[in-house]
């Protein structure tokens, strides 16, 4: 009996030993299994900027679950110097937009840069459950990507004042003079509406551009651009303004009832105009009343169009006016809309038919009113009639002889 009890105890101890070993092994295995790591798809890039400019840093990370993203900043790149950045910091010059989906994407933007904005910016990402545990080392629970932003003093450029040009006015000269620069100058050139003006590039800190024939198409946003060897380009803006000049429009539009009419206007001139469409009512142009819902207006910079659907012959014909207005002045042109009846395509056929009917009537009347002497008489002999003129001559001669 004692042996049986000892045997049972021994077997019980062995069972406990195996169970404990299994639990311990599972715990160790679970502890040693690596968590799904986060990784950078796109990391921020270092840039050099000028005071007053803005920069954006992008951070795109992947992982399962989707990692959390944070932005940190340090004036000096030391671990203990970093401080977390928040949306709206630095007098609302800092903007952070973050979106989470299959990836985590975040954009850091800082505007109106100052020299104090220079430093190291760090994008941190982690999906480790212990990432916010202060007892953990951030270098273990977070992955990091850094970018260095250097902000230099913006060069000083003295530029001409904004100009208003008039048709047939005198030539206009735009000037820029670079007085200070962060590094040696490489070249300068002029840009109009985002495109470089050919033939204006030269290695000079003083540059000018002449508009010899001021016209509306010469207006726009002009930039004098200075390129440096070791710093970002700098520029100054000069606005050349002009009254709009409408260069293209439909003078008239002919449509059938029920069709769609399209009228348009396009112009040159800067700034881009505000467009208004009007219709002449009782001799006065009035803003279009779209109570019927058939009028559609599309405005885009220097172009506008008016579309009228399901034309009504009693309502829509008339004079339409497009008006372009900007800071300098206003100009208008007129388009005449004609709306024909549904029967309009039949008018040519009906005209031809009417001509045929009139021609037939004329022929019939002419035939009925012919003169009687023009009609041959059936009782009258057809051939020439013989006369006895010979006998008459004989009788005449005979009377003459008797007289003698």
* pLDDT tens digits for range 291-309: 888 999 999 999 999 999 9
> Quick check: 210 and 173 in contact, CB under 8 A?
yes
Band of pLDDT at residue 374, cut at 50, 70 and 90: low
Of all residues in the chain, the percent with pLDDT exceeding 90 is: 62
Average pLDDT (314-336) is 94
Q: What is the pTM of this model?
A: 0.65
**C-beta separation of 326 from 315 below 8 A:** no
Phi, psi dihedrals of residue 223, rounded to the nearest 5°: -125, 130
Asked if the model's pLDDT at residue 19 lies above 50, the reply is no
Smallest CA-to-CA distance from 176 within 214, 198, 205 is with: 205
- Listed in sequence order, the DSSP H helices in 227-369 are 347-368
- How large is the average pLDDT for residues 60-78? 93
Q: Which residue has the higher pLDDT, 6 or 372?
A: 372
Q: Is the confidence at residue 390, as pLDDT, over 60?
A: no
Closest CA to 39 of 163, 126, 114: 126
Characterize 16-51 residue by residue with b for buried, 16 or more Cβ atoms within 10 angstroms of its Cβ, and e for exposed: eeeeeeeeeeeeeeeeeeeeeebebeebbeebbbbb
pLDDT score, position 373: 54
Instruction: Provide the 10 A C-beta neighbour count for residue 105.
Output: 18
> What are the backbone angles phi and psi of residue 250, rounded to the nearest 5°?
-85, 125
In the predicted model, is pLDDT for residue 267 greater than 90? yes
Give the pLDDT confidence score for residue 23 in this predicted structure. 38
What is residue 19's three-state secondary structure?
helix
Cα 249 to the center of its chain, rounded Å? 20
């Amino acid at each position: 009996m004692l042996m049986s009890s000892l045997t049972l105890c021994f077997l019980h101890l062995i069972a406990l030993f195996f169970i404990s070993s299994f639990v311990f092994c599972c715990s160790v295995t679970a502890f040693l299994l690596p968590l799904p790591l986060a990784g950078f798809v796109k990391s921020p890039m270092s840039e050099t900027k000028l005071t007053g400019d803005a920069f954006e840093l992008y951070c795109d990370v992947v992982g399962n679950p989707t990692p959390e993203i944070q932005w940190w900043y340090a004036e000096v790149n030391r671990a203990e110097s970093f401080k977390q950045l928040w949306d709206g910091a630095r007098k609302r010059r800092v903007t952070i937009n973050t979106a989470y989906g299959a990836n985590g994407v975040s954009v850091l933007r800082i505007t109106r840069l100052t020299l104090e904005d220079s430093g190291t910016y760090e994008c941190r990402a982690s999906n480790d459950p212990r990432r916010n545990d202060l007892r953990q080392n951030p270098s273990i629970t977070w992955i990091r990507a850094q970018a260095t932003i250097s902000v230099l003093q913006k060069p000083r450029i003295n530029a001409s004042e904004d100009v208003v040009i008039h048709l047939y006015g005198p030539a206009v000269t735009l000037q820029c003079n670079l007085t200070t620069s962060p590094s040696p100058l490489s070249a300068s050139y002029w840009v109009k509406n985002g495109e470089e003006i050919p033939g204006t590039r030269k290695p000079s800190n003083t540059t000018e551009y002449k508009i010899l024939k001021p016209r509306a198409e010469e207006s726009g946003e002009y930039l004098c651009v200075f390129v440096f060897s070791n710093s970002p380009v700098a520029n100054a803006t000069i606005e050349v303004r002009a009254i709009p000049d409408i260069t293209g429009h439909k003078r008239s539009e002919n449509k059938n009832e029920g069709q769609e009419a399209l009228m348009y206007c396009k112009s040159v001139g800067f700034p881009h105009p505000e467009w208004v469409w009007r219709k002449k009512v009782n001799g006065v142009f009035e803003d279009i009343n779209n109570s019927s819902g058939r009028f559609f207006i599309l405005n885009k910079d220097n172009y506008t169009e008016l579309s009228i659907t399901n034309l009504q012959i009693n309502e829509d014909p008339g004079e339409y006016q497009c008006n372009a207005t900007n800071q300098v002045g206003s100009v208008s042109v007129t388009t005449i809309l004609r709306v024909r009846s549904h029967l309009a395509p039949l008018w040519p056929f009906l005209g031809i038919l009417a001509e045929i009917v009139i021609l037939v009537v004329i022929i019939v009347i002419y035939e009925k009113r012919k003169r009687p002497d023009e009609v041959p008489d059936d009782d009258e002999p057809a051939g020439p009639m013989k006369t006895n003129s010979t006998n008459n001559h004989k009788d005449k001669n005979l009377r003459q002889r008797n007289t003698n």
